[in-house]
Amino acid sequence: MERKDSNTVNALLGLLSICPMSGYDIRQVIPFSIGHFWSESYGQIYPALKRMTAEGLISKKTKRDKGKPVRHEYSLTEAGRDRLRAWLESPAQRSPIRNELLLKLFFGGQVGTEASRRHIEAALAAEEKTLQVYEATEQQIRREQANDPQLPYWLMTLNLGRHCSRATIAWCRETLMELDRLAELNRQ
């Protein structure tokens, strides 16, 4: 009975399929790659690399360059590549969502409308910033990874971020108006 890999393992297999890296490298490239929809911390990465090595999914090369700290560089083995492909072919599961903003808004009637206003204004500002980051990232990878055959896939993932960001921004604006209307009603 084979246990399913954790998605941390799958994410690392994917990242190492692009190029060999150390645990530190992996952490560093996440913000510029899968960071918009996935996160991993050192506390997950290093133990996962150890387990994956033991399982033969990746192999480790220790580099001792003069004047630099020891580096453990991991690369995919054939078994690792197979495992990655098998996971990529299998259906994706929806991860459960937990949205603290909505949780607060749902119970917003327990406090004044101003509290909800503040939350939504903060969310709006954050989302506008996020959207700008998406645009900037897109320009950057279009330039720097122009010839990479994987570029179209990266752009697709960014694009969902953009769609949802824009939808969220529109909702924030609508909702702020709706809150104004509610505040008006309460005043009368």
The kind and range of the H/E element at 114 are: helix 113-144
CA dihedral 106, 109, 114, 115 (to 10 degrees): -50
Residues 43-62 that bind DNA (CB under 7 A): 43-44, 46-47, 49-50
Cβ count near 69 (within 10 Å): 8
Residues 41-80 that bind a second copy (CB under 8 A): none
Piece of 21-29, 103-111, 126-134, 171-179 that binds DNA (CB under 7 A)? 21-29
| Count of all residues that appear for the chain in the document | 188
Separation of alpha carbons 40 and 27, rounded Å: 7
Residue 34 partner contact from DNA, a second copy, none using kind-dependent CB cut-offs of 5 to 8 Å: a second copy
Structure-block tokens of residue 187? 């005043």
User: Which of 19, 122, 125, 136 is in the footprint of a second copy by CB under 8 A?
Assistant: 122
The closest of 82, 73, 92, 76 to 15, measured between CA atoms, is: 76
* Beta-bridge partner residues of 61: 73
CA 170, 167, 165, 102 dihedral sign is: positive
Find the shortest distance in angstroms from Cβ 60 to DNA: 8
User: Which of 72, 81, 104, 162 is in the footprint of DNA by CB under 7 A?
Assistant: 72
Structure-block tokens of residue 177? 């108006």
User: Which of 92, 146, 147, 187 is in the footprint of a second copy by CB under 8 A?
Assistant: 92
Q: Which residues bind DNA (CB under 7 A)?
A: 3, 6-8, 22-25, 28, 39-44, 46-47, 49-50, 67-73, 96, 98
Q: Which residues bind a second copy (CB under 8 A)?
A: 7, 10-11, 14, 17, 33-34, 36-39, 81, 84-85, 87-89, 91-111, 115-116, 118-119, 122-123, 126, 149-150, 152-154, 156-157, 159-160, 163-164, 166-168, 170-171, 174-175, 178, 182
